[in-house]
Amino acid sequence: MMQSPTKTKCDLLIVGAGPAGMSAAIEARRAGLDVIVADEGEAPGGQIYRHAAQSPLADAHVLGEDYLAGRTLIERFEASNAKSLSRSVVWQVAFENRHAVAMLTRRAQGAERGGTLDVSARAVLVATGAQERPWPVRGWTLPGVMGIGAAQTLLKSSGLAPSQDAVLAGSGPLLWLFASQLLNAGRRVRAIVDTTPRDAWRAALPHALPALAGADYLLKGLRMMHAVKRAGVPIHRAASAFSIEGQDRAERVHFVDEHGTPRSIDTPLVLIHQGVIPSTQLPRSLGCEHEWDAASACWRPRTDTRGRSSVAQVWIAGDGAGIGGAKAAAHAGTIAALDIARELGALDAPSRDTRSRAALRAMKRHLAVRPLLDALYTPPAALRRPADDVTVCRCEEVTAGEIRAIAALGCQGPNQMKAFSRCGMGPCQGRWCGATVGELIAQVQKRAVGDVGYYRIRAPIKPVTVDEIADSIALDDDFTRGEFPS
């Protein structure tokens, strides 16, 4: 039977309980705001600190000290008395009477009932973090192929590590971090196929001196690489022409090594990664302006240094506003919360500025290394624009060749491409094809990706059932069901 949603109010609704969301909740509560934090996970922590408080692993130290450091933040968050809604999917946010009204569906678990919540908030902080960058290559849709980020999530949330030797392929810090975590967990790695171009250091070199402000990040990265090499894992650097082959599942990978020699490695498990990019679906659905970040080859929302978006009642903090890592995200959450408290009248401007000063300095230090990492690890255009026979939209099985052919006919952007090809119409709403589609159109039409644009995102922004949508409809007391006309 259809029921009206449960309604509640708060000063601040935070979407996401990762480092940015938890830090923002702590600071907002300190300022006296009534805070609700909604997150899809079973416990606070986000992707980076997933299950850090109660790890399913016998020894969580295999995930590293940075992961375990999240326990302190989680404890502070739980002590803040912010209302935490776990297993909650925010699938719509609208604006009514100068308030943001969000529809949340909370999934039931055990004896705990689920249901639809109607949350009215004076301000919204989007702290939805990052997603893995899509890397469409031949064979990436085969069973036995998974993103490294997804594999790491399984390790953190369920203690599941690959039972067979995996080939890790791609580029970026997470490639080396996960390889070292697998080795710490007693697993073996068949090989690492590193696609970082041989001359990437040339682009990174001008950023080396400023990056020394974040030298601890560089040292950690070097230690991880050394640990993997010391373990005897074969490492193939500057690999190109990477592909995955198999009949009904992954069976082998092919690539060309740094010497130009074609190579093949038999494996039933391939874990791929090309870095992470901001998760922009929710802020896009809210009407927040976005811009193409050429240095990182991704879209990011336009925000000021305090996280204010182009929409008056919306702030964005953490990796969802631009990739900076967990520590920078935590400081960004603190800064945004203080600005929100000022906007809502809980703090005056001098108090906000005083409390923000240390966090602003710390965030600047943690972000110092980002230009170097972006120059070193942002995949070149050849890796972001696949061959014609490669599937780009996994949901609707649309290939790069189909997208290029439609673009050649004059298709103006991703939204028209969606109408012509159904690309982006699946359950992910373009999360796994949006950036690639825009780049392919730009390539064919010799336009800037920023001019091509991105999909329009509409509610529901996450998959929900018809029952859950029906539960979101408030019924008046005098409501009567009419007969359907014959």
Peptide bond into 56 cis (omega under 30): no
More confident residue, 474 or 339: 339
Residues 89, 143: one domain? no
**Cα distance between residue 393 and residue 434, in whole Å:** 9
Tell me: pLDDT of 196 over 50.
yes
Are 346 and 402 in the same domain? no
pTM for this prediction: 0.94
Q: Is the pLDDT of residue 484 over 60?
A: no
pLDDT tens for 434-447 read 999 999 999 999 99
Indicate which CATH number applies to the domain containing 176.
3.50.50.60
C-alpha 178/C-alpha 185 separation (Å) is: 10
Q: Give the pLDDT of residue 377.
A: 97
Residue 281 has pLDDT above 70, yes or no: yes
Contacts of 158 (CB under 8 A, 6+ apart): 56
For residue 15, CA distances in Å to 52, 92, 432, 483 come to 19, 11, 21, 40
Summarize pLDDT for 108-162 with one digit per residue, the tens.
Answer: 776 667 788 999 999 999 999 999 999 999 999 999 999 999 999 999 999 999 8
Q: Is the pLDDT of residue 426 over 60?
A: yes
Instruction: Kindly state whether residue 480 falls inside one of the protein's structural domains.
Output: no
Question: 405 and 295: one domain?
Answer: no
Same domain, 339 and 245: no
Supply the mean pLDDT for the chain.
94
Angstrom distance (rounded) from CA 117 to CA 88: 9
- What integer is the mean pLDDT of 445-473? 90
Do 295 and 178 have their domain in common?
no
End position of a domain, from candidates 371, 397, 416: 371
Domain coverage including residue 415: 385-452
**At residue 1, does pLDDT exceed 50?**
no
Say whether pLDDT at 2 is over 60.
no
164: pLDDT confidence band, cut at 50, 70 and 90? confident
For strand 145-147 and strand 166-171, is the pairing parallel, antiparallel, or unpaired? unpaired
pLDDT above 70 (res 485): no
Q: What percent of the chain has pLDDT over 90?
A: 88
Per-residue pLDDT band for 207 (boundaries 50, 70, 90) equals very high
The mean pLDDT of 66-85, rounded to a whole number, is 96
Same domain? For 124 and 142 the reply is no
- Please check the confidence at residue 452 and state whether its pLDDT lies above 70: yes
- Checking if the pLDDT of 430 tops 90, the result is yes
pLDDT for residue 475: 59
Question: For the residues 333-359, what does the mean pLDDT come to?
Answer: 98
> What is the number of structural domains in the chain?
3
| Predicted local confidence at residue 478, as pLDDT | 58
469 pLDDT band, cuts 50/70/90, is confident
Exposure letters 405-441 (e unless 16+ CB within 10 A, then b) = ebbeeebebbeebbeebebbbbebbbbbbbbbbbbbb
Say if 479 falls within a structural domain.
no
* Among the ranges given (270-279, 384-393, 459-468), the one the predictor scored with the smallest mean pLDDT: 459-468
Asked if the structure places residue 476 within a domain, the reply is no
Q: What pLDDT score was predicted for residue 477?
A: 58
pLDDT at residue 486 above 50? no
Domain closes at, from 221, 249, 274:
274
Q: Is residue 195 part of a domain?
A: yes
Is 474 a domain residue?
Answer: no
Indicate the pLDDT class of residue 3, thresholds 50, 70 and 90.
Answer: low
Same domain, 142 and 259: yes
Q: Which residues are paired to 136 by β-bridges?
A: none
Query: Quick check: is 460 in a domain?
Result: no
Can you tell me which residue has the tokens 């969802």? 320
Q: Is residue 289 part of a domain?
A: yes
